[in-house]
Amino acid sequence: MKTTKVLLAVLAFALLNTAVPVTAQGLNGITTPDGVNVVAVGNLGKIFRSTNAGSSWASYTNNSDNLNSVASFGNDVWIAGSAGDVYKTTKSISPVTSISTGEVFKINSIHFVSQSVGYLCGDGGRVYKSLNGGSNWTSASAGIGSENLNGINFLDEQKGVLVGDGGKLYLTNDGGATWTLQTSGVTRDLLKAKYFADGIVVVGEWGVILTKEGTGAWTSVVTRTDSDIRGVSGTAFDEVHVCGGGGFIRNNTNGRSNFFNFEINPMLANLVDIFYYDSNVGFAVSSLNNVVIKTTNGGTSWDMTAGATVSFSWIQKISPASGIGNNLCMHPYDRNTAYVVYGNKVFVSRDRGDNWTQIATISIGTRAHSFYVTPLDTNVWVAAIESSPDKVVRSTDYGATWNTILSYNFSSYGQPLEMDQNNPGTFYYAPDGSSTGFFKSTDNGATFTSVSNSNPFTSPCDIIVMWDSSNVLYVGDDGADIFKSSNNGANWSLVKPSSSSEVPSMCNTVFDQSICYATTWGSSQVYRTVNHGDNWSIVSVNSGSGWGSDLCHEDPNVVLTGNYGSQAYLTTNGGANFFNINSGLGGAGAGIMVPDRGWMLNMQTGSLYKLNITYSVLTTANESQIANTAESYQLSQNYPNPFNPATVIKFSMPASGNVSLKVYDQLGKEVAVLSDGFRTAGTYEVSFDASGLSSGVYF
């Protein structure tokens, strides 16, 4: 083979230490055969490689094919494309070879059990098998229907699991020669599967996790989330990690078969794939950005790799007036639909809060403080609204007409109406004063009856019902008192005495009934209980006067609080620390809702905001082939030169051969490898990001 040596040009630049965001769509799959060499893939031929366990990344564009899945074994890596092609490479920087299956279809999953034997599946019920390291593929779809197949995984060369749309689930015991349809018990699309020596775990849309231990029956896990679960990995049946939604990672270690162990991680965007190399080292990726997150302690904590950064900004969505209380409400069954009330105007968004339309007007009263669309009948809406006197009002026709149900004044700033999330036909109403009573409805808000004619409240600001224990309630009162009832509001005990002016908001979680957070107005203190409300302590001191709050509906580690100003505070580690996210935010606080880790809404008094989260990642090199022919061997001068912090280097080769493109400092020390391996004839461009290097001259 001909070898050509070309002297590199001198590169001079000054460093500003700024990250360069990669703006293309994110990653679809990730793998590592050894915990050190890591390969991630995405759409439009994107391949991310790391040769140092994620300390740095290089990005390569293979072609325009969308790459959906990646697998590895030994030194080899296989990538699934969207037109029936498999791409084979090695774990280190090396050429990518295209191999056709013989059909044109979207390959959704690929898995190898050795360097020889591998399987793939895709749309239209297609399953293929290779016995020679992916060089040739033959159909292995006996017993399979025509549904799209999304995930395939094998324990060994004989035992495998296959999942697809509509709850389809198949097993094989003969290496894919025949497949047996299982009764999954679900109709949601199943997305991924993992076959362990002691059991199988399958994940899917709308929070689906199915488990099969040994030879036992399939069991559906009550995950208590409606977010899609898109990734599954781990080392054993009792050490399984799953990911999905707006970025949650959950596991079933220590006997938590409900997967209620939540792994603290920095990703506030959908996670679509997770890969644990061993019981400690794992990687995960999102399809919305190019940041790879990594754990080295079995999921106790995760970090962004390669100096990645994240920025937050609030984007104004609508700007009506008269916002107060918390009038944000999710649609009970459509996870992309949310409501908000400003004054007496009801708005809806069908696209996760990006666009809003007014759909109704509450014809009684002037300014709502609480609003609910009831799960028992989505035509039924119940609200607490300012009037003379203040009222609880109800509509049974999707807000077209309204009736007064109860007339008692409530706190000028509070949220006096609460729905029991455990029994959604039950509502509670706490008006002003100790002698007016504490009211309960058991008929979906049609009528209310006082259950406590004398109570210790002065001017209740918020009510909350404990998850899974409807008899336990908390009331945040004027003076920042918190009261607890263990008998549905008939009797009350003071569990947190006065510390400031009031408790405007409380929030709790379906995943742990012992936890509840409370904000305080007139002070910056955030309180928390971890023992079912019996004791409360300060978990954070934020600036300004506290106001709205919500615990993320899919991950109890994420809590967002507001204040009666243009600031909001977020924790992603269960309250260990909060940080201020106020960019773009204006006005005074009202309500907050966090449906998932990547979807946060902030109802300020004069505008509704949605949090925009942007991730940036440093890649030392980004290589793409810009032509498949070249007249001569050539290494062009980099441009720009000098540069800060990135430059482009172009080289051409008229014949295929090995390429080595490296960067050295003035002492002759190698500081970066930009290209290394076999390349076909053509012209290439490599973008080199030197943000991690000091200013100076490089060769």
pLDDT digits (tens, 9 = 90+) for 92-124: 878 899 999 999 999 999 999 999 999 999 999
List the single range of 200-204, 576-580, 634-638 with lowest mean pLDDT: 634-638
The pLDDT confidence band at residue 11, using thresholds 50, 70 and 90, is: very low
Considering the domain boundaries, does residue 3 fall inside one? no
- Which pLDDT belongs to residue 620? 64
> Would you say 142 and 172 are in contact if contact means Cβ atoms under 8 Å apart?
no
Lowest-pLDDT range of 4-18, 59-73, 283-297, 606-620: 4-18
Give the length of the chain: 699
CA 528 – CA 695 distance, rounded (Å): 48
Which of 307, 338, 366 is where one domain is finished?
307
- For tokens 């991680």, the residue is 265
Q: Determine the Cα–Cα distance for residues 444 and 103; give it in Å rounded to an integer.
A: 56
675: β partners? 661
pLDDT at 624: 56
3-state secondary structure of 125: helix
More confidently predicted of 78 and 544: 78
Per-residue pLDDT, 680: 60
Task: From 179, 183, 143, 141, select the one nearest 166 (Cα to Cα).
Answer: 183
Same domain, yes or no: 252 and 387:
no
Point out the least confidently predicted range of 10-24, 181-195, 341-355, 415-429: 10-24
56-65, 149-158, 648-657 — which one is most confidently predicted on average?
149-158
Contact 268, 254 (CB under 8 A): no
What six digits make up the tokens of 322? 């008269």
**Confidence band (pLDDT; 50, 70, 90) for 239?**
very high
> What confidence category does residue 692 fall into, taking pLDDT thresholds of 50, 70 and 90?
low
**Alpha-carbon torsion 81, 86, 88, 91, what sign?**
positive
Answer whether residue 12 is part of any domain. Answer: no
What residues make up the domain containing 250?
21-307
For the entire predicted model, the pTM comes to 0.89
Select from 522, 424, 493, 414 the least CA-distant residue to 460: 414
Return the bridge partners of 439, or none: 429, 450
| Beta-carbon count within 10 A of 219 CB | 13
pLDDT digits (tens, 9 = 90+) for 254-302: 999 999 999 999 999 999 999 999 999 999 999 999 999 999 999 999 9
Whether residue 557 contacts residue 549, with contact meaning beta carbons closer than 8 Å, is answered with: no
Rounded Cα distance, 219 and 209, in Å: 8
Same domain as 167, residue 145: yes
The number of distinct structural domains making up the chain is 3
Residue 453 pLDDT level (bands cut at 50, 70, 90): confident
For residue 71, pLDDT over 90 is answered with yes
Do both 249 and 326 map to the same domain? no
Q: Given this model, what pLDDT does residue 633 score? A: 85
Residue 368 placed within a domain: yes
Q: Is position 8 within any domain?
A: no
Q: Which of the listed residues 263, 292, 307 is the one where a domain comes to its end?
A: 307
Q: Which residues have a Cβ under 8 Å from the Cβ of 477 and sit 6 or more positions away?
A: 456, 457, 458, 459, 460, 461, 483, 502, 503
What b/e sequence results for 8-47 when a residue is b if at least 16 CB atoms lie within 10 Å of its CB, and e otherwise?
A: beebebeeeeebebbeeebbbbbbbbebbbbbbbbbebbb
Tell whether 164 and 186 lie within a shared domain: yes
Q: What is the DSSP letter of 478?
A: B
Residue 163 lies in a domain: yes
pLDDT at residue 13 tops 70:
no
Residue 142 lies in a domain: yes
Q: Percent of the chain at pLDDT above 90?
A: 80
| Contact predicate 592/568, CB 8 Å | yes
The mean pLDDT value for 497-504 works out to 92
Residues 615-639, mean pLDDT to the nearest whole number: 73
Q: Which tokens belong to 519?
A: 């904000």
Radius of gyration of the chain measured on its C-alpha atoms: 29
When the pLDDT of each residue in the chain is averaged and rounded to a whole number, the result is 92
The residue with greater pLDDT, 126 or 7, is: 126
- Whole-number pLDDT of residue 675: 65
Kindly state the average pLDDT of the residues 374-387.
98
C-beta separation of 390 from 431 below 8 A: yes
Give CA separation, 478 vs 340, 439, 458, in Å. Answer: 25, 18, 6
Taking the C-alpha atoms of residue 398 and residue 110, their distance in angstroms, rounded to an integer, is 47
Q: What is the structure's pLDDT at 679?
A: 59
What is the arithmetic mean of pLDDT over 421-449?
94
| String of DSSP letters for 648-693 | EEEEEESS-EEEEEEEE-TTS-EEEEEEEEEE-SEEEEEEEE-TTS
Residue 641 sits in the same domain as residue 661:
yes
Strand partners, 373: 381
Give the per-residue pLDDT at 676. 59
In a domain, residue 671? The reply is yes
Q: By the 8 A CB rule, do 614 and 267 touch?
A: no
pLDDT of residue 16: 37
Say whether both 328 and 423 belong to one domain.
yes
189: Cβ contacts below 8 Å, ≥ 6 apart: 150, 164, 165, 166, 167, 204, 205
pLDDT number for residue 663: 84
Helix or strand run (H / E) with residue 55: none
- Look at residue 634 in the predicted model and tell me its pLDDT: 85
3-state secondary structure of 448: coil
DSSP, collapsed to helix, strand or coil, labels residue 76 as strand
Largest CA distance in the chain: 95
Residue at 682 is within a domain: yes
Both tokens of 96, joined, read: 């990518």
Question: Does 330 lie in the same domain as 294?
Answer: no
Helix, strand, or coil here: 165? helix
The pLDDT, as a whole number, for residue 8 is: 41
The pLDDT value recorded for residue 9 is 44
| CATH number where 470 lies | 2.130.10.10
Instruction: For CA atoms 488, 490, 491, 497, give the dihedral sign.
Output: positive
* Residue 228 reports pLDDT greater than 70: yes
Q: Once rounded to an integer, what is the mean pLDDT over residues 127-138?
A: 98
Contacts of 73 (CB under 8 A, 6+ apart): 33, 112, 113, 114, 115
What integer pLDDT is reported at residue 70 of this predicted model? 98
Q: Report the alpha-carbon distance of residue 441 to residue 408 in Å, rounded.
A: 15
Residues 428 and 560 in one domain: yes
Query: Mean pLDDT across the stretch 180-195?
Result: 98
Average pLDDT over residues 143-157: 97
Rounded Cα distance between 481 and 462, Å, is 11
Look at residues 121, 127, 89, 117 and name the one whose alpha carbon lies nearest to residue 108.
121
The last residue of a domain, from among 307, 326, 351: 307
Among 287, 285, 297, 356, residue whose Cα is nearest residue 327: 356
Measure the CA–CA gap between 315 and 604, rounded to whole angstroms.
12
pLDDT score for 12: 47
C-alpha separations of 563 from 396, 480, 594, 600, 601 in Å: 34, 15, 16, 15, 14
- Residue 632: exposure state from Cβ atoms within 10 A (0-12, 13-18, ≥19): exposed
Lowest mean pLDDT among 312-326, 394-408, 425-439, 643-657: 643-657
345 and 364 co-located in one domain: yes
Which helix (H) or strand (E) segment holds residue 374: the answer is none
pLDDT on residue 622: 59
pLDDT of 621: 59
Closest C-alpha to 247, from 608, 619, 600: 600
pLDDT confidence band for 691 (50 / 70 / 90): low
The answer to whether the beta carbons of residues 178 and 152 sit under 8 Å apart is: no
77 with 210, same domain: the answer is: yes
Q: For residue 253, what is the DSSP state? A: G
pLDDT at 668: 79
93 and 240 belong to one structural domain? yes
Q: Which residues contact 216 (CB under 8 A, 6 or more apart)?
A: none
My answer on whether 602 and 684 are in the same domain is no
Name which residue leads in pLDDT, 587 or 623.
587
Q: What pLDDT was estimated at residue 5?
A: 40
